[in-house]
Amino acid sequence: MDLTPRPIADAESRAQKQRRRWAPMIIVALALVAGGVVVSQFLTSAIDYYCNVDEVGVRDGCVGQRRIRVQGIVVENSLKQTSGVSEFSLVFNDKTLRVRYQGDPGGVFQECIPVVAHGRVVDGVFDSDRIEVKHTNQYVEKNKTRFEATKETAACSQLPG
Amino acid sequence: MTSRMQTVRRVSLAVVRKDLRIEWSSKVLLNQVAPFSLVIMIMFAFALDNEGILQRVAPGLVWLATLFSMLVIVQRSFAVETADGALDALRVAGTEPLGIFIGKSLALMVQLLALELMLLAIALVLYAVEPTAMGYAETFATMLIATIGLGFVGTLYGGLGAGARGRETLLPLLLLPAVAPVLIGATRATEAAFGSGGAQSSEGWPWIGLLAVFAGVFGAVGALAFGPMIEE
Amino acid sequence: METVVELSGVVAVLSNFPALAGIDLVVHRGEIVLLHGPNGAGKTSVLRVCAGLLPIERGEGSVMGVNLRTHRESVREQVGLLGHSNGLYLELTVTQNVSFWASTVGATAQEVALAMQRMKIDGRLAHVKASQLSAGQRRRCALASLIVRRASLWLLDEPHAGLDTAGQDELDAILQSAVSSGATVVLASHETQRSRLLATRVIKVDGGLISGSES
Amino acid sequence: MTTTQSTATPTTQKLGIATATAVIFLVLSGLIFSAEDVVQGSTVRMMYVHVPSIWVAYLAFGLTALCSAVYVSNRSRSLIWDRFAGASAEIGVLFVAISLVTGSLWGRLTWGTFWVWDARLTSTAFLFITYIGYLAVRRLGGTFSQRARRSAIMALLAVLEIPLVHFSVNLWRTLHQKASIADPNAKVQLDGFMLFTLFWGLISFSMLFAWLLIHRQRLMALEDAVQDQGLDRAIQERRTEAGR
């Protein structure tokens, strides 16, 4: 039986083994770039938290009888509260949607600010069971606006459409 | 370089054959893991027995059951290595770590795929899901690519705790957040394939792209890091 | 004479316990060195350091010209270690186990057959699962897996333990023929009568240090 | 070891005093001097804690990854990098937790809900869990270099989540608002003194981070040193075992 020490790979290949391996690092980098592209280009609509009012019934994922979340700005003077039911209109890109909601929306809910309503479209009216207020990334000091925009309309026109 | 590649191929083939042989002779997947995942699926069916809900969440349940079962398979995959000091022996033998990584990943992938096919069949029966032909194609593509990613990430994190105390509790903590993209991606792709909740099948392909990216990242990271990870 | 192992002042730590407390050891090519000493003396740790498995905390060490501090991984291809555990897969048969270890180093099927024949685990035992073997048979299986490695440096921890007399004789013969083919052997044992006959040098280890040497 | 050791030096004491002063001024500025928001009223004051704490968390995890990369790429494998990485991650986890708690309180007041599963909140939650896992890996045991190697790999993987968390509000529509100042293509969206207060928050929280980091790192070094000094004694004891 042969028991001579098995010849191992020569010194050259052992030196190679010590060298940093670049191929996997390049693969990681490429995969990350690919990941960025997939996530930012193709998956946007799928991870989006809500549909805008103008996309309801139009865009993939915002159509049909499925449960959706709709974002829009509460139209001024559209809020009617009767016997525990709130009704108001949402507007976005010149499209409006009537929303019916059981109860009193929480948060800083008021007219002229963007909100997200959960529910489904029933006979052209959005039947919602949950309202979330989506506040913007604009912060305006209260004292200052008292002079500049005392009228409610001014506050409405300030908000992005 | 070619000689190293040959070594890697030789070692990975030896490891994958060894792992599958162990599974074949011990039948842990068949006798323990498969019933475990079956129990998960049935429990969900009991708990969520409400019109519509089950069909809507079926894709998520398939993948959740897969992930839980995967934890068991990964534990087992490294328990056989540490039972009689075989991992130590592999390490001291200077066995190419990349070969071990690829071999163990492949074995894990084969077992996962078998399990997923079973879960899919159960979902079709129990949850009354009826995909189209296109839906089936999408489902199988999802399974294949998600499984490649799961195989890599499972082997990487399984090797991390191998031999350390407390690894049984550590593995879920590390592995479950890491596989969250797979859970989300595979679930959404399968939802699209099943048409759950009114989803269209075209919505699924970008998610499969995400799964492919995940597999690429963890394949490459594992190739780099598995050796240092199992080192003392 | 070619130096195979060179340790100077090596401290190695097992979870905060200094298993080796500054050991000095030189082994030349073609030697069969016996390490003996009481339980917990540090014999196993010497072998594990030489195998590039246990990192060196302090001191310097090299095996076959490879620095153990910086490149201990590279030494492993040339080393064969038989530890306390056999490194077997209990669900696999004897043949499958030996073949697996053979395939990781690229040994041929013929070498596997010869090694199994030599350790007398061919025939009926060949297709028995490792979990069903006796302790001695498992040891033989592990030795067969070691033989197919054809290492340059053989590190054996209590190799005779569990083997019957015939098996011990067989092992001694194998080690002697390996040394005459150009290998080097370091073995640790506390039952020294048999090993002394085999060894070219006997070293006493105690308290993580070398405490005596005889030729 | 008879003298009581402290992790403080004159420099860190000065840093500590400066940090305390800055934080006190932040409290005054945030609660009293700064104005209410026109829509949110007083709840806007949550921002002065919420935003700086997530900023510190990003900073801390970024530093963890940086130190881990240095540890891995440096041949000397100096453990100081590992300790900085670990100390930084611990502080980061603390500040993500603060950010999550303040954020969910703020969300209750403005959105009307503590938690939603939008991209920003979900990804932040995963960031939190991932780094808890990182800290668990550090306590897995084994040698120092084993700890360092394992955790460095973890840290380099985990840091990839940060850009995803930060840009999630730009990539997707979320209930969470977009960044008001750290947005690459937007004007600053805060009125004068609110902006100043937020900046002041970022500065004072960063100082707090630096102060905590230095102390934690020194404490870890002392812990390691205790083990190392123990080693010296243990080696002596081990040697005397011979001949018994």
Confidence of residue C180 (pLDDT cuts 50, 70, 90): very high
Position A160 in a domain:
no
Nearest to A5 among C107, C114, C182 (CB): C182
Summarize the confidence of residues B75-95 as an average pLDDT.
88
Q: How much is the mean pLDDT over chain B? A: 88
- Regarding whether A120 and A70 lie in a shared domain, the answer is yes
Position A2 in a domain:
no
Which of residues A81 and B36 earns the better pLDDT score? B36
- Regarding whether A34 and A95 lie in a shared domain, the answer is no
Helix residue spans in chain D (DSSP H)? 10-28, 47-73, 79-110, 119-138, 144-158, 161-171, 192-240
DSSP three-state, residue D40 = coil
Summarize the confidence of residues D84-99 as an average pLDDT.
96
Q: Tell me what pLDDT residue A45 has.
A: 65
Summarize the confidence of residues B180-192 as an average pLDDT.
90
* H or E segment and range at residue A129: strand A125-133
- Regarding whether A85 and A68 lie in a shared domain, the answer is yes
CA-based nearest residue in chain A for residue B1: A13
Cβ-in-10-Å burial (0-12, 13-18, 19+) of A111 comes to: middle
- Regarding whether A112 and A40 lie in a shared domain, the answer is no
Which residues in chain A have their CB less than 8 angstroms from residue D197's CB? none
The residue segments making up the domain with residue A17 are: 7-47
- Regarding whether A68 and A17 lie in a shared domain, the answer is no
CA-based nearest residue in chain B for residue D145: B232
Instruction: Pull the structure tokens for residue D191.
Output: 């009125």
In the chain, the amino acid numbered A59 is: R
Q: Do A137 and D179 touch (CB under 8 A)?
A: yes
- Lowest mean pLDDT of A133-147, B2-16, B211-225, C130-144, name the range: A133-147
Summarize the confidence of residues D25-38 as an average pLDDT.
87
Distance CA B70, CA C35 (A): 45
* Phi, psi for B122 (deg, rounded to 5): -60, -45
Distance CA A49, CA A71 (A): 9
Q: Tell me what pLDDT residue A20 has.
A: 61
Listed ranges A4-8, A83-87, D69-73; the one with the highest mean pLDDT: D69-73
Q: Tell me what pLDDT residue D2 has.
A: 44
Q: List subunits contacting chain D, requiring 3 or more Cβ pairs under 8 Å.
A: A, B, C
According to DSSP, the β-strands at A68-74 and A51-52 are parallel
Q: Tell me what pLDDT residue D141 has.
A: 74
Position A161 in a domain:
no
Summarize the confidence of residues D134-138 as an average pLDDT.
92
**pLDDT at D3 > cutoff 70:** no
Q: Tell me what pLDDT residue D186 has.
A: 60
Q: How many domains does chain A have?
A: 2
A133 interfaces chain D, CB cutoff of 8 Å: yes
Summarize the confidence of residues C27-38 as an average pLDDT.
92
Distance CA B204, CA C7 (A): 61
Q: What is the DSSP letter of B152?
A: H
Could you tell me if D125 and D100 are in contact, meaning their C-beta atoms sit under 8 angstroms apart? yes
For residue range B122-143, list pLDDT tens digits in order.
Answer: 888 888 888 888 889 999 999 9
- Regarding whether A35 and A95 lie in a shared domain, the answer is no
Distance CA B191, CA B198 (A): 9
Size of interface A-D (CB pairs under 8 A): 104
For residue range C181-204, list pLDDT tens digits in order.
Answer: 999 999 998 777 888 888 899 999
**pLDDT at C100 > cutoff 90:** yes
CA-based nearest residue in chain D for residue B160: D150
- Lowest mean pLDDT of B213-227, C25-39, C188-202, name the range: C188-202
List, as one string, the DSSP characters of C24-61: EEEEETT-EEEEE-STTSSHHHHHHHHTT-SPPSEEEE
Distance CA D70, CA D77 (A): 9
For B:25-84, CB contacts with C below 8 A are 25-26, 80, 83-84
Q: How much is the mean pLDDT over chain D? A: 87
For residue range D153-169, list pLDDT tens digits in order.
Answer: 999 999 988 988 988 88
For B:29-88, CB contacts with D below 8 A are none
Q: Tell me what pLDDT residue C123 has.
A: 86
| Adjacency order of strands within the sheet including C58-63 | C17-28, C3-14, C58-63, C66-67
Summarize the confidence of residues D9-37 as an average pLDDT.
89
Summarize the confidence of residues B89-118 as an average pLDDT.
93
- Regarding whether A43 and A71 lie in a shared domain, the answer is no
**pLDDT at D71 > cutoff 70:** yes
CA angle C110, C111, C116 (to 5 degrees): 100
Summarize the confidence of residues D25-46 as an average pLDDT.
86
Residue B173: how many CB atoms within 10 A of its CB? Answer: 17
Q: Tell me what pLDDT residue C27 has.
A: 94
Could you tell me if C189 and C166 are in contact, meaning their C-beta atoms sit under 8 angstroms apart? no
> Taking the model in full, what pTM does it have?
0.88
- Regarding whether A65 and A41 lie in a shared domain, the answer is no
Nearest to C89 among B18, B91, B99 (CB): B18
Position A111 in a domain:
yes
**pLDDT at A39 > cutoff 90:** no
DSSP three-state, residue C63 = strand
Query: To the nearest whole angstrom, how far is the Cα of B224 from the nearest Cα of chain D?
Result: 10
**pLDDT at C7 > cutoff 60:** yes
For B:93-132, CB contacts with C below 8 A are 93-95, 99
CA-based nearest residue in chain D for residue A37: D171
Question: Domains in chain C and their CATH numbers?
Answer: 3-214 (3.40.50.300)
Position A35 in a domain:
yes
Which residues in chain B have their CB less than 8 angstroms from residue D141's CB? 164-166
CA-based nearest residue in chain D for residue C71: D75
| pLDDT over 70 percentage in chain B | 96
**pLDDT at A38 > cutoff 60:** yes
Q: Do A139 and D180 touch (CB under 8 A)?
A: yes
DSSP three-state, residue A8 = coil
- Lowest mean pLDDT of A70-74, A146-150, B117-121, B208-212, name the range: A146-150
For residue range D53-68, list pLDDT tens digits in order.
Answer: 999 999 999 999 999 9
Nearest to D110 among A49, A133, A141 (CB): A133
CA-based nearest residue in chain A for residue C182: A4
Q: Tell me what pLDDT residue D42 has.
A: 83
Which of residues C196 and A154 earns the better pLDDT score? C196
For residue range D118-131, list pLDDT tens digits in order.
Answer: 889 989 999 999 99
- Regarding whether A143 and A80 lie in a shared domain, the answer is yes
Q: Tell me what pLDDT residue A148 has.
A: 45
Q: Compute the half-sphere exposure of residue D58: CA atoms within 13 Å on the CB side of its CA.
A: 16
Confidence of residue A15 (pLDDT cuts 50, 70, 90): very low
CA-based nearest residue in chain D for residue A44: D172
Q: Residue C99: which residues within 8 A CB-CB, separation 6 or more?
A: C109, C112
Which residues in chain D have their CB less than 8 angstroms from residue A50's CB? 173, 175
Distance CA C65, CA C47 (A): 17
CATH number at residue A105: 2.40.50.140
Distance CA C17, CA C54 (A): 13
Query: To the nearest whole angstrom, how far is the Cα of B95 from the nearest Cα of chain C?
Result: 7
Whole-angstrom CA distances from B124 to A8, B63, B113, C90, D16 are 54, 14, 16, 38, 63
Confidence of residue A160 (pLDDT cuts 50, 70, 90): very low
Q: How much is the mean pLDDT over chain C? A: 89
* Phi, psi for A120 (deg, rounded to 5): -140, 160
Distance CA C202, CA C188 (A): 10
Q: Tell me what pLDDT residue A154 has.
A: 41
- Regarding whether A53 and A14 lie in a shared domain, the answer is no
For residue range D170-214, list pLDDT tens digits in order.
Answer: 878 888 888 887 666 666 778 778 888 999 999 999 999 999 999
Mark out chain D residues that contact chain A at CB-CB < 8 A.
Answer: 35-41, 43-44, 47, 108-113, 116, 118-119, 160, 164, 171-175, 177-180, 183, 186, 189-194
Q: Do D235 and C11 touch (CB under 8 A)?
A: yes
Domain ranges of chain B: 3-231
**pLDDT at A147 > cutoff 60:** no
Position A55 in a domain:
yes
B220 interfaces chain D, CB cutoff of 8 Å: no
- Regarding whether A78 and A39 lie in a shared domain, the answer is no
- Regarding whether A83 and A58 lie in a shared domain, the answer is yes
* Phi, psi for A7 (deg, rounded to 5): -65, 130
Most A CBs within 10 A among C105, C181, C184, C185, hence the mutation to make, goes to C181
Summarize the confidence of residues C139-147 as an average pLDDT.
93
Confidence of residue A44 (pLDDT cuts 50, 70, 90): low
Summarize the confidence of residues C87-113 as an average pLDDT.
92
For residue range D206-238, list pLDDT tens digits in order.
Answer: 999 999 999 999 998 888 787 777 778 888 888
